[in-house]
A and B are shown apart, each in its own frame.
Chain A
């Protein structure tokens, strides 16, 4: 049972991190759209972009992790969700493309072009979290039956619970973004920006809180089972935690303690997701498929959990490094470059015998891979060919080759070449 539940826990953790990090990115996109024109608006947009840039890619990979774990551990659930909810998921995917594209473009665009890019950026920033939120809503409210596209194609994600969940996803993202960006603005000591994002945080926090409360009422009339899960037993704990943390976060923002507010806001949002997960347990697709029904075979689960654990050992220190560098302001604008590297005299690349080595390994690799039959010979053949490539690269010595003066290439058009007497 623990074995079957662990991947689900990983999925929930992945979703929480995706909501906190990528959700905040999406929220920043929303603030970019609503920043208005002029110098002030431009600074808000710049700040939102700059704060996100180094961590942007990493934040969005959480979704891939969630998806891959889901289809490895609970393949049938994955198939059911992705076929019934194909439309909102496709729209979310479109938003992801648009956002990634505009992100890549922003690095190269000038101010006028960036205005247009920002619009598509922000549109995608609303669409993607809304659609993903409505997917969660559809699953939670039991609109996804098992099987290939057995649920309603449209009605499954346009019911009240889905819609509320979609809006909630957008608003929490905006709230998180405003709190995070206010903290970032404080770090770069920009008072004007701090105030702008402080007000945005208070406003969006109030809206998100109201929506979360409203969602409870919607769920009560729409999906009684989910409501009972949220308001009794263990389900009640995260709901209360979320409410309290949300209020604390607002209070901290109000008194300008942004670093602490960041944590409280994150906790408030995380608790919403935990609440949903606890409320619908043990079901993955409420009232039809439980975790145990859907879980893959034990060997697969063990292999998955082992690789997740190994991956986490590598991943988390790296993530900590990235966020420490970012939050400590190591990527903040500076005009000061790095210390120069002590100049060594340009050495000749040691290329003696590289050519002979390369040709020797090429020939023996050819014999072993192409002519010899046994599997083992092929392995060595490949290794030899690999060595031949590296030695060949060395023998050519591209750095030295580029440094040598070479006659101009151009100026000899096709015509002049034909005219030249050979």
Chain B
């Protein structure tokens, strides 16, 4: 009976998990990269004593804390869901991967502690102590994401445990997580993505100011810093992405086959752009002969493993994986183009671009970067299906036997919609606070007591 129920709600459970990730992952990017940006600007303040940089860092830190608060709750929900939706996964493999989350919990903790000190300490700590209190935030953001990605790398490439009769009999958690060669590409790719997403989303906000005619030194600086970060990271992400794809080709050939829609194992395989995968072939696609073999194995005549090497029930849903992969690649390429354009103009003209078209493109890159991020994660997560632990446990074996998943899914969707609206509302409000006000307004909204007396 339980088995039947589990089957019924598998899709809802997967969608619920996906929804939770979709809301959480962009916030993670801000956890990885935004503290570094804020600290960079504050560091310039320490060096020059120019109040403008302090104002900027301070206003950004309020954004940081709002996004972090949303990150804390969505992250808590994710840890709940590992039990609420996939109790069998955690029950069976918790001892292998759990360690990563335990360490992640610690870094989350440090982040929370120092964000409290940093954001509420602007007026109370000496500038130097204040700057130092921000450093652990940046470090913890990176450590935390490193741990989570280590777990994901293990799920994709499980090692260092003995599995008998559906039970883990012997496990070495530290080795499973950190001696795994198959997560570095995910980590590096995600880390750079964090900078691209943060860079482009923040830059997009100030590009809107530029287009509306507010273009003082404050806005220009606030635009230039994230834009430069995104501009140096986006082109390099193409190289890192290419490397990541080669790693996938080596270790998870079926995932690569799904990403490229390669039905049959082929020697000198072609790369298809667009099109639709059907019955083992990409139809209506634009094929470039031999390119896939060249990209995957650096040899135009190498053999690329196709989906036919595994039975149909072990194949991931090809079109979902393929289209998210393609979206990521296209979005990444567009962003890299904008980035190169920015660098070129900087080199030739020695100042910020003046054309509104450039700023319109940056505004577009904001959402585009989030799309690239999410479709990248869809590629790797849906590409892992039907396995939750690659080759060991299928997703349908992991799902909860509890009923009521659809209800929970609906409620969570509604609440997260509210959360997204709320976060956007907070950010818009923070953006509208007049520039001259910050120190006073801080006291007014956060510490209203003083004004009551």
Contact = CB atoms under 8 A, between A and B. Distances in A.
Decide whether A and B are members of one complex.
Answer: yes
Contacts of B217: 402-403
Interface string B196-218: 00000000000000111101010
A104 B66 contact: yes
Nearest to B210: A409
A297 B170 contact: yes
A82 interface: yes
B83 A82 contact: yes
B112 A61 contact: yes
B287 interface: no
Given A43-B452, A408-B215, 11 more contacts: A58-B112, A69-B105, A72-B95, A90-B84, A103-B69, A108-B66, A325-B117, A366-B239, A392-B343, A402-B352, A412-B356
B443 interface: yes
Contacts of B91: 75-76, 78-80, 148
A9 B298 CA distance: 54
Interface string A361-380: 01001100111010100100
A149 B400 contact: yes
Given A299-B173, A399-B225, A105 B48 contact: no
A159 interface: no
24 contacts: A43-B449, A50-B446, A53-B120, A58-B116, A67-B83, A72-B99, A81-B83, A94-B412, A100-B70, A104-B65, A149-B2, A150-B2, A296-B171, A299-B172, A303-B174, A335-B450, A337-B123, A339-B126, A341-B54, A388-B236, A396-B346, A399-B44, A402-B352, A410-B211
Name B's interface SS: helix
Interface string B222-250: 11110111011100100110110000000
Contact of A58 (B88, B113, B347): B113
A57 B228 CA distance: 31
Which has the most chain B C-beta neighbours within 10 Å: A343, A393, A398? A398
Interface residues of B, number: 136
A333 interface: yes
Interface residues of A, number: 126
A311 B223 CA distance: 37
B127 A338 contact: yes
B79 interface: yes
Contacts of B422: 101, 104-105
A314 B110 contact: yes
- List 6 A-B pairs, minimum CB-CB distance, nearest first: A72-B98, A82-B83, A79-B91, A75-B94, A296-B95, A402-B221
Contact of B121 (A98, A330, A333, A406): A330
B232 A389 contact: yes
B15 interface: no
B404 interface: yes
B103 interface: yes
B449 A334 contact: no
A347 B47 CA distance: 9
Contact of B116 (A57, A315, A398): A57
Given A103-B69, A333-B449, A407-B354, A396 B228 contact: yes
Interface string B154-197: 00000000000000111111100000010000001000000000
A330 B446 CA distance: 14
